[in-house]
Amino acid sequence: MQRLLRIGPVLAIVLLSQQSRATDDRVRFNRDIRPILAEHCWQCHGPDAGVRQAGLRLDLRDSAMQAADSGAFAIVPRSPQQSELLRRINTNDPAQRMPPADSHTPLSDAQVVLLRTWIEQGAEYQRHWAFQQIARPSVPEIDGVKHPIDAFVVARLKAQGQTLAEEAAPQQLSRRLHLTLSGLPPATNLPLDQSPGNYASAVDHLLASPHFGEHLAVGWLDAARYADTNGYFGDKPRQIWLWRDWVIDAFNSNMPFDQFTIEQLAGDLLPNATTRQRIATGFNRNHMANNETGIIDEEYRVEYIVDRLDTTLTTWMGLTAGCSQCHDHKYDPISQRDFYRLFAFFNNGPEKGLISADNPPPLITVATPEARQRLAQLESATVAARAQFAPIKTHLAAQIADWEADTTKPLPALPIDDVLLYEPFDGGDFAPPSMPLGTGLTFERGVRGKAGRFDATQHLEHPFTAFDVNATWTIGFWIKPDGSLSCLLSKIEPQGRRRGLEILLQKGRVRVNLVAQWGVRSIAIGTREPLASRQWHHVAVTYDGSRAAAGMRILIDGTPADLAVQQDTLGHIGRGHSSPQSCTNQEPLRIGRRDSGLGYYGVLDELHVMQHVTSPNLVSAWHRGERLRGILATDVAERNDFERAFLLDDYIAHNTGKHVRAAQQRLRQAVETERTFRSTIPTTLVMQDLPTPRTTHVLVRGQYDQPGETVQPGVPAAIGQLSDNAPRNRLGLARWIVSRKNPLTARVTVNRLWKHCFGHGLVRTMNDFGTQGEPPTHPQLLDWLAAEFRDSGWDIKRLLRLIVTSRTFRQASRHQGDTSSDPDNRLLSRGPSYRMSAEMIRDHALAVSGLLRLRIGGPSVKPYQPPGLWREVSYNATETYQADTGEGLWRRGLYTWIKRQAPPPSFLVFDGTTREKCTIQRAVTNTPLQSLVLLNDPVFVEAARVLASRILLLPRAEPGAADKLSAGSIPRTEHRLNQLVQHVLSRYPDNRERQLLSGLVRRQQKRFEQTPATAHALISIGHAPCDGTLDPLELATWTVVAQAVMNLDEAITLR
Amino acid sequence: MNNPCNPLSAQPQLQRRRFLSQAALGAGSVALASLLQESAGGAIVQQHAARARRIIYLFMHGGPSQLDLFDYKPRLQAYHGHELPDSVRGNQRLTGMTSGQASKPVTPSVFPFRQHGQSGAWISELLPHIAAHVDDLSIVRSLQTEAINHDPAVTLLQTGHQQPGRPSFGAWAHYGLGSENANLPAFMVLVSDGSAARPADPLYARLWGSGFLPSNHQGVALRASGDPVLYLSNPPGISANARRDQLDVIADLNRRQLAQQRDQEIATRIAQYELAFRMQTSVPDLTNLNNETAGTLAAYGPQCNQPGTFARHCLLARRMAERGVRFIQLYHRGWDQHYNLPSDLRLQCQDVDQPVGALLSDLKQRGLLEDTLVVWGGEFGRTTYSQGNPTATNYGRDHHGGCFTMWLAGGGVRPGTIHGQTDDFSFNVVRDPVHVHDLNATLLYQLGVDHRRLTYRFQGRDYRLTDVHGNVLHKLLATT
């Protein structure tokens, strides 16, 4: 195998040169010579001045003809004998021979011959094909070929002695056309009418469909690295779906591509920029953004700009500038200076490298007129509610004063039973036998009287053994934490099994570990919501001795908290143990510390430890009782906002009538409704320039902190230049990108649209139009299409119509004759055939089942996903994926929420990307994991089940129906199989296929009859309701059969 | 002339690349061959004999403190509480978390160190089991990275570049060397949570992603709950027999389509469905510990009985090694001890020490250590000075890229060695610095791969794991 590989490409090169010279004896620089020089010479004799050897530069003709440092002339046109280059590549002297042996890049004999011939013929250079201006080639005239695309393709085929393949079968063509233009299979069950008029109208119909824009958008979202989170470190959610919807809409409204370009790159700089034009600039805000504490701001700000530059250049011009960030490009004429001149266009935003908001500014809020109106209503409702409540509040103030003065008023009870320890932290001696250790506590005003302030350098130890963590207990206290990580209280061994109890604050959440053996047998629970820092909270933990997490409760401010159970293994009996293990230990109770390491930062007050379970009602009273007593004991003037609010709320809740409570409730409701609605008004990230542009420097070796010479904004000299009157900002750049001066944009864009239809570009290296990329398979066709596209006003739909109406597109995709003759379809000797994308495969399954919800746009959605994927990787393991209910489960794939840190797993398996970087061309792989997804992912199982119900609910075929296959009284199973296959593959099965599938029906039916429970299990998958009229066994049977058909290669392949 | 930007510095790779691009883009029979390649034919880029057939990478995510584990600094006591001298600090970049901290008090470790084994390496009391294997280890105390924050540092170590977008190490290994077991993924990932109180830093799919390589090279995460591999199990209601029946019909229908279309991708797809079916047996077989002796289970420690723990993952790593998984990547989270280091580091070490010791013994006992390269370490080290005010018993340490410790074992590395030396403060490397790229070059070398020649062309440039850097550390390698 290895040997075969080694000779393969060389043979190919020789064959190719022979082929090309069969029709033309002249050596052509771009076709024959440039690849040799680029691969073998330019590394040391190319554009990069930094590493150039011997003063010889071979990528420019003028330089190549000059004397090198040695005085020798590398190339003397028409004089092979005098050309040092030929001597050096032919010499046997290892010290002289080029390329040097240690480069491991020897030239082949064929290449040496080519170089000699080229020099003999005058050593003419050509500009790299992609950088040449687009000259519209004339369409080859071929008898019987009308369509210009076909003319170019047939001309090339003819030269190889080949022809176009026959036209694809009508059903196949219909399916291909629908999938190409809308990403969805044909909705109708009728075969496509073959007549030319009908094909054309189907094309028009599809181009006008709103699903056209959705399908076209996917590739653009890949290029723009669109996602729903920020990507680095914390990977928090961001809002930029309005930009995604802008793209869909732009494709649907057939926005000319030049306008599409200008608005996305510089919409904000257009005169009187509209909101929509500003939304469009989100293209270059889709880069990742970092919130990791400790990063260096400028380092990341530079990184974002480099990313923008790379993305823009790759997307529009098929070039990568990455190399030039640090040094002159080795192969392409983009110098390091060019790089930073481009950088200068993007260097003027007001953004930061270290972001502090999930939606890093600049951003805009985009409210629809209806939303604006609704918000105004809600605002006035809040004002009204406030006004209504104001006199009540005044009135209450007097009542509260009277109430306070009443010394006989009842107050909620405090714990008195079984109190093993009560520590009020009032600044006097500690409750014996507590011992202060470390630097000593300071005291400040607390909830009641004083409270102890900890800074992790001190704690209290209570060396009593009366308190047994194995039994029932309640621990309660008030905390006002400074940080989000602390140990509040512990009675735990520092190492070994770490038996005992600890109460921690982790990321602001209260966490309790009750341990018999660390990590093996313990209860570990925590609150889901973090506490507000720098506010007083009452924390109570109760445990009923049941050795189960269910027996442990955490109450925050008197209310049982929503808990996450991390471990619940305390009751387990392990190997070698006949009874559960104990958590009892001889450690002291440590207040404000775990062991040697983890302390408490913040204030602590009113600690109670009890050897019983306090009921939630009593904890609630305890919380109120302590708080109220504390407030009432404080002089009115010295009470803070929290205390005043607590008193008012508590008084209203317990001492007032219905109407006061209702008025307060109305106000709360109004405030909350307004807040909630406000949060639903979307924002989106946009580009914006500072009033004064930043000065841009070349960054030495690409380092953010090593500025070199100053540069002005500009485009790479080798490709073109801005006109004198063009603004030196993104708008000037955008206009140049779509100007005639830049030949790359039109070529790159038609290549992308070609790929959209054929699965491959005419230039196979979609993201590299530079000298290292592959030249086009059909250069003339590419240029003709580029000219046509540009001259038609950058009309995308027109170009696609042109492509899909060609015979080239309409060919059968079956491999012809000898499969090795054109394995990659480089000659376009057959129609397109490729495995569909992750999104298409999902959409297809949902569409054929009828589950697909076709709403366009809106916030991203969260379909089914296996549990735990976010938790496993997110910061502090706190993020969980909450799947949508209802519509969000069945939307098209492009609306699926993309978390860069953990992208949708089934998409990754089908070559979807993480959207971390610009992607122009996804890989197309074929793996076992794909089979597992299609067979077992609930979304596909559900779709099969819903498709099965659809088939089972079909009326029996009517005699005389148009279709002869369903005419008459064909057996029911056959009819159903016909319909099933028709739904999924847009064609009827043949006899043998029907036979195979009906065998499956029979056998599966029998299986389910034997074990009816399994049928119920299968048809219960997914949220889509089951039709109650169907026989569950039959539904399960047909679910399996539908799955089989949906798993066929044909179902997930566009052919 | 070894500049890596030159695509032809690696002629065989160029062909490998074309071969793969062809495979990815349509020549299905070739893709199939690649996919099912057994070790005999898979060594397409092996340029020399491999000393290691697989890697077990024990990644301590967060940055374990070299000062408290492996880099013994007795002379630091003399500076206890003093400011870190400017002469030591030099111009090393500090993170935004402590660059503004007024005082940078030198803080020696609270943990006693002791010498171990023939090599006499000093190891702290926190790692007794690993210390017992010290003569199997090749300890590198002079690792360096320019990244000083988690995301870029871990991305650099695992993909060779600080910014996202490149393939991970495992993906490169899979791309270059293929698979040794047709029924299991060649690159598998296991993630466990640490016991430290401090929140664990995030991980990212990119760390086991394929970057610009085709996605069949991405790592497959083995999960503790639910399906061990996503979507592995048949849906409820579908028995193995029912599935087999269904697959047979799918295969028959696909074969008819193949005969008609003659597209070799269909042949590949048929094979992939068979492989998926086999994985439904081979993965549960991998995770089923019924055949492990009580002695083995006990050796890995009590946490081994619990799915999802690092201890369990170490045992699974051995089972993967036995089954020829090429790249076994473990992540243990929670090593970011900015504060409360003494308490949290003890817990983290308790999570890993016994299982790692057991893994080394187990591999050795089964003769697997010879051709399995075990790597232990995190993305950077930690500072000599305390973050926040230290007390007698409590301190924290910020990120430190200037020097950190990793160790290698098995797979042809020289056992019982200590490579590199840091200054008295464990702040600078004073002898034999080892960059992340050098480490990666060396690991690839042990797999039989020249890191300069394992390349993939993307956007006109030939990329490699070591970017444009990296030197193989021959001093670390056993002589054959």
Domain A419-613 has CATH 3.40.1190.20: no
The tokens of B213 are what?
Answer: 């390589």
CA distances A162 to A148, A726, A806, A830, B260, Å, are 18, 50, 17, 11, 21
Question: B302 contacts in A (CB within 8 Å)?
Answer: 517, 519-520, 574
Q: In this structure, what are the phi and psi dihedrals at residue A550, rounded to the nearest 5 degrees?
A: -65, -20
User: Within chain A, which residues score under 70 in pLDDT?
Assistant: 1-24, 188-196, 465, 573-579, 596, 817-820, 957-969
pLDDT number for residue B392: 83
Interface membership of A875 toward B (CB under 8 Å): yes
A911/B214 CB distance under 8 A: yes
A323/B457 CB distance under 8 A: no
Residue whose tokens read 């190719």: A16
B195/A992 CB distance under 8 A: no
Is the predicted pLDDT of residue B26 greater than 80, yes or no?
A: no
Give pLDDT tens digits for A571-599.
876 555 556 788 999 899 999 998 767 88
**Is the Cβ–Cβ distance between A910 and A838 less than 8 Å?**
yes
CA distances A509 to A530, A556, A563, A738, Å, are 4, 10, 10, 54
Coil, strand or helix at B253:
helix
Q: Which of residues 936-965 of A touch B (CB under 8 A)?
A: 936-938, 941
- Tell me A32's DSSP state: I
What ipTM goes with this model? 0.86
pLDDT number for residue A24: 56
**Is the Cβ–Cβ distance between A107 and A96 less than 8 Å?**
no
A1000/B236 CB distance under 8 A: no
Distance CA B400, CA B71 (A): 13
A8/B15 CB distance under 8 A: yes
Give pLDDT tens digits for A931-972.
999 999 999 999 999 999 999 998 875 544 444 444 445 789
A519/B309 CB distance under 8 A: yes
Q: Locate the chain B residue with the closest alpha carbon to A813.
A: B261
Give pLDDT tens digits for A853-872.
999 999 999 999 999 999 88
B199/A507 CB distance under 8 A: yes
pLDDT number for residue B36: 38
**Is the Cβ–Cβ distance between A402 and A649 less than 8 Å?**
no
**Is the Cβ–Cβ distance between A498 and A583 less than 8 Å?**
no
Give pLDDT tens digits for B37-79.
333 223 355 567 889 999 999 999 999 999 999 999 999 999 9
Tell whether omega for the bond before B152 is within 30 degrees of 0, i.e. cis.
Answer: no
Q: In this structure, what are the phi and psi dihedrals at residue B396, rounded to the nearest 5 degrees?
A: -140, 165
Interface contacts (A, B; CB < 8 Å): 383
| Interface test mutation site (partner A, options B253, B352, B464, max chain A beta carbons within 10 A) | B253
A330 CA: distance to closest CA in chain B (Å)? 7
Residues 6+ apart with CB under 8 A from A897: A228, A860, A861, A862, A904
3-state secondary structure A694-705: CCEEEEHHHCCC
Coil, strand or helix at B104:
coil
pLDDT number for residue A188: 59
Nearest to B254 among A507, A925, A1049 (CB): A1049
pLDDT number for residue B229: 94
Q: Locate the chain B residue with the closest alpha carbon to A765.
A: B459
Coil, strand or helix at A385:
helix
Is the predicted pLDDT of residue B3 greater than 70, yes or no?
A: no
Helix residue spans in B373-475 (DSSP H): 436-446
For helices A938-952 and A972-985, angle between their N-to-C axes, nearest 10 degrees: 130
* Residues A908-932: b if buried by 16+ CB within 10 A, e if exposed: bbbbbbbbbbbbbbbbbbbbbbbbb
Q: Specify the amino acid at residue A530.
A: P
Looking at CATH, the fold of the domain delimited by B9-232+297-476 is given as Alkaline Phosphatase, subunit A (3.40.720)
3-state secondary structure A746-764: HHHHHHHHHHHHHCCCCCC
Beta-strand runs (E) in A127-283: none
Q: Locate the chain A residue with the closest alpha carbon to B249.
A: A996
The tokens of A682 are what?
Answer: 């979307």
Is the predicted pLDDT of residue B16 greater than 60, yes or no?
A: no
B472 CA: distance to closest CA in chain A (Å)? 18
Nearest to A100 among B1, B246, B250 (CB): B1
Give pLDDT tens digits for B413-462.
999 999 999 999 999 999 999 999 999 999 999 999 999 989 998 887 88
B205/A485 CB distance under 8 A: no
Distance CA B419, CA A996 (A): 66
The tokens of B1 are what?
Answer: 């002339």
B273/A931 CB distance under 8 A: yes
> Which residue ranges make up each domain of chain A?
2-126, 369-406+655-682, 419-613, 934-1054
Question: B3 contacts in A (CB within 8 Å)?
Answer: 43, 51, 330
Burial class (CB in 10 A: 0-12, 13-18, 19+), B324: middle
Residue whose tokens read 């190490």: B169
Distance CA B475, CA B478 (A): 8
Interface membership of A312 toward B (CB under 8 Å): no
Q: Which of residues 828-867 of A touch B (CB under 8 A)?
A: 833, 835, 866-867
**Is the Cβ–Cβ distance between A1041 and A840 less than 8 Å?**
no
Q: Which of residues 455-484 of A touch B (CB under 8 A)?
A: 456-457
Question: A500 contacts in B (CB within 8 Å)?
Answer: none
The tokens of A688 are what?
Answer: 């914006």
Chain Cα centroid distance, residue A597? 39
| Interface test mutation site (partner A, options B34, B189, B208, B250, max chain A beta carbons within 10 A) | B250
Distance CA A104, CA A691 (A): 53
pLDDT number for residue A957: 59
> Which residue ranges make up each domain of chain B?
9-232+297-476
Residues 6+ apart with CB under 8 A from A214: A182, A183, A248, A856, A892, A894
A144: left (phi over 0), alpha (psi -120 to 50) or beta: left
Distance CA A966, CA A972 (A): 10
Pairing of strands B372-377, B404-409: antiparallel
B303/A903 CB distance under 8 A: no
Coil, strand or helix at A31:
helix
**Is the Cβ–Cβ distance between A967 and A1044 less than 8 Å?**
no
| Interface test mutation site (partner A, options B269, B346, B351, B462, max chain A beta carbons within 10 A) | B269
Nearest to B226 among A6, A868, A1049 (CB): A868
Other beta carbons within 10 Å of A30: 17
- Tell me A853's DSSP state: B
A5/B11 CB distance under 8 A: no
For A786-833, give the DSSP string. HHHHHHTTS-HHHHHHHHHTSHHHHB--SPPSSTTSSTT-TT--S---
The tokens of A821 are what?
Answer: 């003759």
A1007/B239 CB distance under 8 A: yes
**Is the Cβ–Cβ distance between B20 and B214 less than 8 Å?**
yes
- Among residues A1039, A828, A807, the alpha carbon closest in space to that of A945 is found at A1039
A916/B165 CB distance under 8 A: yes
B15/A5 CB distance under 8 A: yes
A105/B8 CB distance under 8 A: yes
> Cα–Cα–Cα angle for A22, A25, A26, nearest 5°?
135
Distance CA A728, CA A226 (A): 27
pLDDT number for residue A10: 38
**Is the Cβ–Cβ distance between A592 and A442 less than 8 Å?**
no
Residues 6+ apart with CB under 8 A from B471: B437, B438, B441
Beta-strand runs (E) in A819-976: 834-835
Q: Whole-model pTM above 0.90?
A: no
Interface membership of A615 toward B (CB under 8 Å): no
Pairing of strands B327-332, B381-386: unpaired
Residue whose tokens read 């394995």: A823
Beta bridge partners of B386: B397
Question: A323 contacts in B (CB within 8 Å)?
Answer: 5, 461
Question: B237 contacts in A (CB within 8 Å)?
Answer: 1014-1019, 1021, 1036
How many CA atoms are closer than 13 Å to the CA of B322, on its beta-carbon side?
A: 16
pLDDT number for residue A196: 65
pLDDT number for residue B34: 41
The tokens of A720 are what?
Answer: 């073109």
pLDDT number for residue B100: 87
Coil, strand or helix at B131:
helix
pLDDT number for residue A433: 74
- Among residues A337, A316, A242, A317, the alpha carbon closest in space to that of A285 is found at A242
A819/B215 CB distance under 8 A: no
Q: Please, what sign has the CA dihedral across residues B46, B48, B50, B55?
A: negative
Nearest to A295 among B149, B225, B268 (CB): B149
Residues 6+ apart with CB under 8 A from A1036: A1004, A1008, A1014, A1015, A1016, A1018, A1019, B237
Q: Which of residues 88-147 of A touch B (CB under 8 A)?
A: 99-100, 102-105
pLDDT number for residue A190: 53
